[in-house]
Amino acid sequence: ETLEGNNIFYTIRLKSNPRLKRMALDGRYVNFNNLLMIEGQLTTDEFEYQAASWDKARRVIVLNDEHGGTQFIVTNLSLPQKDIVRVYRKRAAIEDIIRELKGGFAFGKTDSSSFFANKARMWISVIASNLMRLMK
């Protein structure tokens, strides 16, 4: 509600719950004749969902991967499903990079009171991470 109130677009993963799973499997909510394959991942049609704490229903896209996993994405974007999936995947890839930088390269470590020392440590972490990616 806060994002929408400030005219901010979003694509957020919803935590799965029994009601979402039931809606995703129920033919009344999802058009199974309109399955779409996106880069090796199967996404079904979208449906409207309203959580108990929400003031209105919102657009939800269901992603089913080839291993049987299901993800739910809520968005206020009016883009086609495949474009929303691409936006979501890019965000997820960036989050993975940040998590790797923090965990494996001490990116979040700021033990100096000097801004420039902390900035230098951050850049060393980024360079080390990029070198590791290059070597892969």
pLDDT, tens digit, 9 for 90 and up, residues 55-72: 999 999 988 776 667 889
User: pTM here?
Assistant: 0.66
Quote the radius of gyration of the chain (alpha carbons, Å). 19
Contacts of 105 (CB under 8 A, 6+ apart): 125, 126, 128, 129
Domain coordinates in residue numbering, the chain: 2-78, 90-135
17 Ramachandran zone, left/alpha/beta (phi>0; psi -120 to 50): beta
The mean per-residue pLDDT over the stretch 124-131 comes to: 88
Which residues are 36's β-sheet partners?
Answer: 43
Task: Please tell me the predicted confidence (pLDDT) of residue 16.
Answer: 87
Cβ distance 126 to 101 under 8 Å? Answer: yes
Contacts of 121 (CB under 8 A, 6+ apart): 106, 109, 110, 112
Helix axes 81-104, 115-135, angle to 10 degrees: 110
